[in-house]
Structure 1
Amino acid sequence: MDNVLTVESAISLLLLLIQLPATAILLSRLVKGPTRHPPIQPQQPTLEILGSVSVVVPTLNEALRISPLLAGLSQQSYEVREIIVVDSKSKDGTPDLVKASQQQDPRFHLMNDDPLPSGWVGRPWALHSGFLQSSEASQWFLGMDADTQPHPGLVAGLVKTAEMQGYDLVSLSPQFILKYPGECWLQPALLMTLLYRFDPAGIEAEQPERVMANGQCFLCRRSVLTAVGGYTSAKSSFCDDVTLARYIAAQGFKVGFLDGAKVLKVRMYEGAIETWKEWGRSLDLKDASPPAQIWGDLWLLSAVQGLPLPILLIYLSVFPLLSPPLLLHATYFMPGNPSTAVAPLLLSLGLNVFLLLIRFAMLLAIAPSYDRQSAKGGWLFWLSPLADPIAVLRIFLSAFNTPREWRGRKYSAS
C-alpha cells in the first residue's frame, strides 16, 4: 500500500500542477457570465436604418440547405438594401434557387467569383468579392452563410444593437439544429472547446487576440471594412471570421460577439462524421492565433475538459484499492506522516469531480443554444460530456494539420 500510494501521490501532484492553474482561468471566465450582454432580440425596422445593410452570402454547392436562408432573408424588411449571393461555380443547382428567389424579391443578385486568386481561400475571397460589388450607399456589410436560418427581425435587431452599443463589428452565436444521434452527442462537446477557451458570448474581449467571432452572421461597418482592405487580412485563413475580427480589433475598433439564439438558427453538418471532419478542422483557430496561444489553449482544454473524465474513470476502475474509505484507513494506520501521500490523491479526485460538475452545469446553460425538437436520440445531448476527450483530441489533430480541402475545393500545401 505504501509504494502504491507514493507513486499515485506523485502522479496526482503532477496532475494538480497541470489542472489547478487551468481551473482558475476557467473560473475567472465563468464568473463573467452574469454580466454579459443579453441575447439579441428580433426588432421592427425604423426609418433611420432604411437601406443601410448589404447582405453577402458565399455559396458552393449549397442546394440542399440554402432554401431556409433565402426565405429568411426575403422576410427581412427595408433595412436590407441588397442580397448578393456570390457563387463559386456550384454544380448542384444552387444558382437556380437564387434566381428563383430573385423573381420574387428583386433585392437578390447573383454573381460569380471565379477564378480563385493564388493565396486566397474560397470563402474569404467570395465575401471580399461580394463586398467590392456591394453598394457604397450601405452603411453596414452583413456576411451570412448558406446554412443559416434567420428569423424575421434579425437584421433590424442586429443593426440597432450594434448602433446602440457602438460596435464596429458584431457577430452572433446561433441556435444549432440537431437531427441525428451521433451529432447530438459529439457536437456539443466540440462547441464546448470554444466555451472553455473564451469568455461567454456577450462579454467584450479585453485583448484583440482573445476576440471571438462567427462568420455565419457577421455585421461590420462598411467604412471599417473599407479601411482594413476588406477581407485581405484573412485571405489565406480557414477561420477568416476570427482572423478578420481580431485584425479589426487590433486596429482599435470595437468588436462584439453576442448570443443570437433567439434570432438565428443554423444547420451546419449532417451527422457526427461530417461534424468531426468539417467543423473540427477549423475549431483550433490556428490561422488566427500565435503559436503560444495555440499551445496555451491546448493545455487549458486538456486540463479542464479532456482529463477529468478519464482521471475519474481510472481512479474508480484501475485503482479500486484507493477508494476514499481505504485512503482514510491508510491515513490512520500508516506510520509517519501519511497525509503527505494521501492528500494529493484526495485533492485530485475532488478537483476532477468539481470540473465534471462544472461541465454539466455548462451543458445546462447552453441547452437553449440547441434545437433538438426533431432530433433522433436528442437525449444523447445530455451525455455529451462523455465525448469531451474525443473533442479535445480533435482540436489537437486539427492544430497540427493544415487543411487541404474545404467545401470541395482543394488547396496546395502552401
Structure 2
Amino acid sequence: MLVLASIVVAAWVYLAVAHGRFWQSGPELPHHVTPLRMARVAVVIPARDEAEHIEHTLCALLQQDYRWPFRVILVDDNSTDGTGDIARDLAAEDPRLTVVQGQPLPAGWTGKMWAVSQGLEYAPEADYVLLTDADIVHASSHVAQLVAAAQAGNYDLVSEMVRLRCKTLPERFAIPAFVFFFAMLYPFARVADKRSKVAAAAGGTMLLSQAALQRIDGVSRIRAELIDDCALAREVKRGGYATWLGHATRATSLRKYPHFADIWQMIARTAYVQLQYSPLLLLGTVAGMLLLYAVPLALALHTRGITMWCGAATWVLMAALFQPILRRYQQPPLWGMALPLIAMFYMAATIGSAIRFYRGKGGQWKNRTYPAT
C-alpha cells in the first residue's frame, strides 16, 4: 500500500512541476494591441442547425473593429431549422457576409470539415483565415487581437480555448474540469514550443495563415477527423510552422449543457476517437485515471498512518492545481476537492464512448454517424 501511495504522490508532483505548467490559467493574448501591418482576414463558419446562436455570432463578427479588408463566410451545412435564412437576411444588409449553401456530404468527409473546405474556396485572397464555430461570440477587438498576436510572434496558427458557458450545475461540475483535462493532455507551453511534438488547437478560435493552409492543402488531409482542431494543429506544426494556444478573454461560447446527459454526450462523442478506437489505450486510460484520482481519495478515506497522509496530501495537491481554472470560471474553491468524483464521471463517459462505438453509434454529431478512421 505504501508503494502505491508513493507512486500517486510522485505522479502528481511530476504533473505539478514538470508537465508544462498545464494547470496555469494562461497564457492569454495581450489586450489593446493592433496589427503591425495590413492583413486581409476571412472568417469561415460551418453551421448546421444553429438557429439558436447564429444571429448573435454573425452580428458580433460584423461589428469587429478591424480596419483592414474583412469578410465573413458562413457555410450552411444543409440546416433544417432556418439557420441559412437567418444568415441570408443579415447578408442582405451587409455585403461583407457571404452565405454558402453546402453541397451534399461526400464519402470520406466529416460534415464540419466538408463545410470548412467549401468556405475556404471563397477566401483565397485572405492573408489569414479565422475558423470559428457557429456558437462563438467574439468581442469587437478580438480579430485585431488575434492578427496582432500572429504577426508579433510570427505564428501561423493562433488558437484559443474560448470561455465556455458555466452556469448550470452540470456545467459547473464538468466544464472547468474539461479545460483542466484538455490542458493536461496538451500543455499549452509545449504547443508553442517548436522542439516539442505536442500539437493542439481549440476549434472555437483558430486563426491560420494562408501560407500554412496552402502548405497543408487546406483541410483535405484531415477530412475524416472528428477531433479536427487538434488534427489541424498537428498538420500545421508538422510542416514546421509556429503555433500558439492559450485561454481566450474575448471569445465566449453560447453552447448550453443544461443536463448531465448533455455533458455525457459531449464527452462520449469523441473520447474513444481520442483513444484511436484502441481497447488497450482505453484500458490504460481507465487504469491511469483510477491511479491519479480514485486511489488518492481511497487512501485518504480508508487507510491510516503514512498512506492516509500521502493520499490526503495528493488530494489536496490536485485540488490546488485545479484552482487557477476554477478562478477563471468564477467557481468556488471547494470544487477542487470534487475533482476525483468529476474525473470518475469523465472516465465513465469515456467507457460509454467505447460502448457506443461497438454498438455502431460512435462518432455521432448533428444527426450523422461517422465510421472509424
Please tell me the TM-score bracket, short chain as reference.
0.7 to 0.9
Q: What residue number does 2:304 align with? A: 323
**Which has the greater radius of gyration?**
1
Q: What residue number does 2:346 align with? A: 391
Which of the residues 64, 86, 90 maps onto 1:97?
Answer: 86
- Contact 1:177–1:371 under 8 Å retained in 2: no
- Contact 1:201–1:259 under 8 Å retained in 2: no
Deviates more, 1:97-106 or 1:36-45: 36-45
Whether 2:175 is the aligned partner of 1:187: answer yes
Q: Partner letter of residue 113 of structure 1?
A: G
Which of the residues 132, 135, 139 maps onto 2:127?
Answer: 139
Aligned partner of residue 131 in structure 2, secondary structure: strand
Which of the residues 13, 23, 27 maps onto 2:3?
Answer: 13
Q: What residue number does 1:269 align with? A: 256
Q: In the TM superposition, what are the counterparts of 1:301-320 in structure 2 within 5 Å?
A: 301-313=289-301, 315=302
Q: Partner letter of residue 252 of structure 2?
A: K
Q: 1:223 to 1:400 in 2, by over 3 A?
A: farther
- Contact 2:191–2:198 under 8 Å retained in 1: no
Q: Partner letter of residue 121 of structure 2?
A: L
Whether 2:139 is the aligned partner of 1:158: answer no
Deviations 1:37-60 (A, max 9, x none): 74124446558335x111000000
Offset of residue 197 of structure 1: 2.4
Gaps of 5+ in 1: 1-8, 316-321, 325-345, 373-377
- Contact 2:25–2:247 under 8 Å retained in 1: no
Q: Partner letter of residue 139 of structure 2?
A: H
- Contact 1:38–1:259 under 8 Å retained in 2: yes
Q: What residue number does 1:337 align with? A: none
Aligned partner of residue 257 in structure 1, secondary structure: strand
- Contact 2:35–2:148 under 8 Å retained in 1: no
Which of the residues 175, 186, 197 maps onto 1:198?
Answer: 186
Q: What residue number does 1:278 align with? A: 266
Offset of residue 230 of structure 1: 0.9
Q: Partner letter of residue 192 of structure 2?
A: E
Whether 2:223 is the aligned partner of 1:235: answer yes
Aligned partner of residue 269 in structure 1, secondary structure: coil
Deviations 1:68-120 (A, max 9, x none): 21121011123452110011110111112211221332111111222111111
- Contact 1:45–1:78 under 8 Å retained in 2: no
- Contact 2:272–2:282 under 8 Å retained in 1: yes
Whether 2:30 is the aligned partner of 1:49: answer no
Q: In the TM superposition, what are the counterparts of 1:220-369 in structure 2 within 5 Å?
A: 220-260=208-248, 262-271=249-258, 272-283=260-271, 286=274, 300-313=288-301, 315=302, 322-324=303-305, 346=306, 348-369=307-328
Offset of residue 266 of structure 1: 1.0
Offset of residue 234 of structure 1: 1.3
Q: 1:22 to 1:296 in 2, by over 3 A?
A: farther
Q: What residue number does 1:406 align with? A: 365
Q: What residue number does 2:116 align with? A: 127
Which of the residues 73, 87, 96 maps onto 1:107?
Answer: 96
Q: Partner letter of residue 395 of structure 1?
A: T
Q: TM-score, normalised by structure 2?
A: 0.85
Q: Partner letter of residue 174 of structure 1?
A: V
Q: In the TM superposition, what are the counterparts of 1:45-84 in structure 2 within 5 Å?
A: 45=34, 48-50=37-39, 52-76=40-64, 77-79=66-68, 81-84=70-73
Which of the residues 85, 90, 107 maps onto 2:74?
Answer: 85
Deviations 1:245-276 (A, max 9, x none): 1122112111111121x111113332222121
Separation (CA, whole Å) in 2 of partners of 1:32 and 1:62: 36
How many residues get paired? 366
Q: 1:288 to 1:239 in 2, by over 3 A?
A: farther
RMSD: 3.2
Deviations 1:309-358 (A, max 9, x none): 34434x1xxxxxx533xxxxxxxxxxxxxxxxxxxxx2x43333233223
Deviations 1:155-187 (A, max 9, x none): 110111111111111210111222311221122
- Contact 1:144–1:218 under 8 Å retained in 2: yes
Offset of residue 237 of structure 1: 1.1
Q: Partner letter of residue 266 of structure 1?
A: S
Q: 1:250 to 1:24 in 2, by over 3 A?
A: farther
Deviations 1:346-389 (A, max 9, x none): 2x4333323322332233201344267xxxxx899566523221
- Contact 2:76–2:100 under 8 Å retained in 1: yes
Q: What residue number does 1:174 align with? A: 162
Deviations 1:181-239 (A, max 9, x none): 12211222333322332324686245665222101101111111111111122111110
Separation (CA, whole Å) in 1 of partners of 2:151 and 2:207: 11
Separation (CA, whole Å) in 2 of partners of 1:29 and 1:268: 34
